[in-house]
Amino acid sequence: MSLPIVHELHDVPDAFAALTAIADWPDVVLLESALLRDGIGRYSFLTADPERTFKLAVPRLGDQPFEALRTHLNGRSAQRVDGLPPFQGGAVGLLSYELGRCWERLPRAEHDEFELPVMLIGDYDWVLAWDHLEQRAWIIAHGWDGGTSESDRAKAADRRIDSVLDALRVEEVDPLRPAAMSNVRISSPIHPVPSVDGVLSNFSREEYLLAVERVIEYIRAGDIYQANLSQRLMSPALGTPLELYGRLRRRNPAPFAGYFTHDDWAVISSSPERFVRVDDGIVETRPIKGTRQRRSSPEADLLTRDELRESEKDQAENVMIVDLLRNDLSKVCCPGSISVPQLCEVETYETVQHLVSEVRGELEQGHDFWDLMTAVFPGGSITGAPKVRAMEIITELEQVARGPYCGSLVYCGYDGSADSSILIRTFVQRHGWVHCPVGGGIVAPSDPIAEYEETLHKATGMLRALM
């Protein structure tokens, strides 16, 4: 195994300033922990200009989307340097919700105006990595494009480090131009959102209430136990994706924030939710189910926290998904290794409080991160249970492709360590529009009006960033 070239930055840059410095590079991606908290949110990673990309535009049942990527990465084994952040180069990219149609026979959404690929992953052989707890940062580079000899790769890695340093030294960066409004036709229904000026939805309020009632009917008929129903909020794009991400990270910070651009589109995320992580063979997933809006006074906020913690409805919703994830992980984890070290704990964010659980397992010999993603994607917390039937109902009722929403931004290092987010609290910008779906888990005791209001509570921090 080879070792990368490492250059520590003694003048540690702000992550957004560094992103701005290379924002015009191809396929730039920032995985940012914009909210530091115990156990999560410690590291951030910035990279761009991948050596090679792997793309799947349209999913078909039976596709093996990770095979070419896995073969490529198997030829690039590298040792991880101790004491540095866990991602030191490798695969980074986007998995959209509809990628699940590769493994299950699922209906296709009636409307998909934005047409993003279901998979786009690059091989990034360099990364600028931050350890926010230690307040340190490093540029790590492998130089795979330099040739086969170790000395040639070291020279290529040094050149890459120099190019990043040159970009960071530029004090003023030319602003990116806003994307022009295109003539793309929005084929899905469009309705104004009550009390939110300039924002549109694919549901009217009345239609969303009826859709929730329809999910409850499916539950009472025995089709499902739970389904995650969302509405897609849309607004004209008034600036660049970079400007939008800058506002979002200030107004709605999160431990799994992300920014990813390719060609004429961008994914801009402020997600609080980890999907799956693999470290030294241990798999961890942290599903979120159960939400309450933050209150302005500390006393009311504490009462809201206690009410959420004691809610039988929200606990049932969370436990159902924990059971689903235990089942999914059992496909690739050692028998008897799956545990639940955290169940229905309240975590507090800028605008909401969530019930969060944690499920762990030990990856079975012969399985890797891509086998894990095949077993669990898309995440149970944003589909429902049983998963496949819930996804069929979601497509029937929502009628629009989710795209990146409820998909994942992922990294998988050359050493096999990996992490990923669930893309909730996420904007997609393309064709002069910004859209941001928001949803919630529907169970038998759900109240349609409360479920509709919960989607708008979840959107509060996102809508602030539009202004």
Positions annotated as catalytic residues are: 273, 289
Residue identified by tokens 């990270």 is 249
What radius of gyration, in Å, describes the C-alpha atoms of the chain?
A: 21
In this structure, which long-range contacts are made by residues 167-173, counting pairs with CB atoms below 8 Å and at least 24 apart in sequence? 167/21, 167/22, 167/25, 168/9, 168/13, 168/18, 168/21, 170/21, 173/20, 173/21, 173/23
In DSSP terms, 44 is beta-bridged to 130
Q: What is the 3-state secondary structure (H, E, C) of 325-349?
A: HHHHHCCCECCCCCEEEEEEEEEEC
Cis before 13 (ω within 30): no
CB atoms within 10 A of CB 261: 24
- Using alpha carbons, select from 126, 144, 90 the residue that is nearest to residue 420: 90
Phi, then psi, of 366 in degrees rounded to 5? 95, -5
Q: Are the C-beta atoms of residues 73 and 414 closer than 8 Å to each other?
A: yes
Q: Which helix (H) or strand (E) segment is 371 a member of?
A: helix 369-376
Beta strands in 84-225 (DSSP E): 90-95, 119-124, 126-131, 136-141, 191-192, 200-201
Give residues with Cβ within 8 angstroms of 149, minimum separation 6: none
